[in-house]
Amino acid sequence: MMTRAEILMEQDKLNLRPKKFLMWLFVITSFMLFAALTSGYIVYTAGDPARGLKMVLPRIFMYSTAVIILSSVTLYQASVAAKMLQFARQQLFLTITLLLGILFCVMQIFSWKMFVGQGIYFINPNASQSFLYVFTGAHMLHIFGGLMMIIHALWSKQKNVPQVKNLFNLELTSIFWHFLGLLWIYLYVFLLLNQ
């Protein structure tokens, strides 16, 4: 016979499944948004070099890529620590992931300043250059969402939530954060090939 605590844990597991489905739905929707944006860029340029970016991407994009890959590694380490019930280690790696995510945002803002320094503005006659702001801005909004999820996972563990919910929070955060990493790599390679 199951105890009341075991029954509640089972109910929590059942209640968490729809939330995971919603996360996957959001990931798919976000992917479709960025596929539409990159398709719009391709249609706009139509292979005409005169409509291309006419610029070299700043090196900071390469460093941003390294930072977001590293943040995925640290988030994975936080998940491993949680499964092994090493909560101090989980907190440490979540905090490092949060700091790396903030660093990524700072680097993106700095890249916008570099664009402005090169005379590349959001509103200009060359819409392909405007796409730089659209791609990076839309990705940055998603990063802010990911940072909120990381903060929630950190806060939840501070409040001593049950381990089932702790692992679930980390799983949802990992799904979304790793997606954002892959999405950034896709955007970076796309922009490299179209500069």
For residues 54 and 35, what is the distance between their CA atoms, to the nearest angstrom? 22
For residues 170 and 186, what is the distance between their CA atoms, to the nearest angstrom? 24
Q: Answer whether 76's CB lies under 8 Å from 175's CB.
A: no
Q: Answer whether 168's CB lies under 8 Å from 184's CB.
A: no
**What ranges do the domains of the chain cover?**
59-193
Residue 17: what pLDDT? 77
Q: Answer whether 174's CB lies under 8 Å from 79's CB.
A: yes
Give first-to-last CA distance, the chain, whole Å: 65
Element (H, E) at 159: none
Residue 126: what pLDDT? 78
Q: Answer whether 151's CB lies under 8 Å from 102's CB.
A: no
Residue 120: what pLDDT? 84
Residue 159: what pLDDT? 78
Q: Answer whether 177's CB lies under 8 Å from 142's CB.
A: no
Cα torsion through 5, 7, 9, 10, rounded to 10 = 170
For residues 134 and 40, what is the distance between their CA atoms, to the nearest angstrom? 11
**Residues with pLDDT less than 70, the chain:** 1-14, 49
pLDDT digit string (tens) for 152-190? 999 887 777 888 888 989 999 999 999 999 999 999 999
Residue 4: what pLDDT? 65
DSSP-derived 3-state class of residue 85: coil
- b/e burial code for range 8-45 (CB count within 10 A of at least 16 → b): ebeeeeeebeeeeeebeeebeebeeebeebbeebeeeb
Q: Answer whether 188's CB lies under 8 Å from 171's CB.
A: no
Residues 6+ apart with CB under 8 A from 97: 71, 74, 75, 78, 150, 177
Residue 188: what pLDDT? 95
For 59-193, the fitting CATH number among 3.40.50.800, 3.20.20.70, 1.20.120.80, 1.10.1060.10 is 1.20.120.80
pTM of the shown model: 0.86
